[in-house]
Amino acid sequence: MGVTRAVVFGGISILPAMLIGVILFLILGGANQDWANWMWFPCYILPISLIVAAGSYGWKTDTSVEVE
């Protein structure tokens, strides 16, 4: 059940992670510039990190359910 929970948490966090990345990209002024090396962080590294963090949180907070 831990893998399923991790995949669900990671899958659900895709949209918020991309939204946070786009907002940070726009705040830093990336829409008015050509591609630069600093754009790796808001466009790729931050969203992937948030998705991985959500997946690992889902994996670690898994509790076993006992059926009576």
Q: Which residue has the higher pLDDT, 13 or 62?
A: 13
pLDDT at residue number 67? 72
One-letter amino acid identity for 55? G
Burial 12-34 (b: 16+ CB within 10 A, else e): ebeeebeeebeeebeeeebeeee
pLDDT per position as a tens digit, 19-35 = 999 999 888 887 777 77
Share of the chain above pLDDT 70, in %: 96
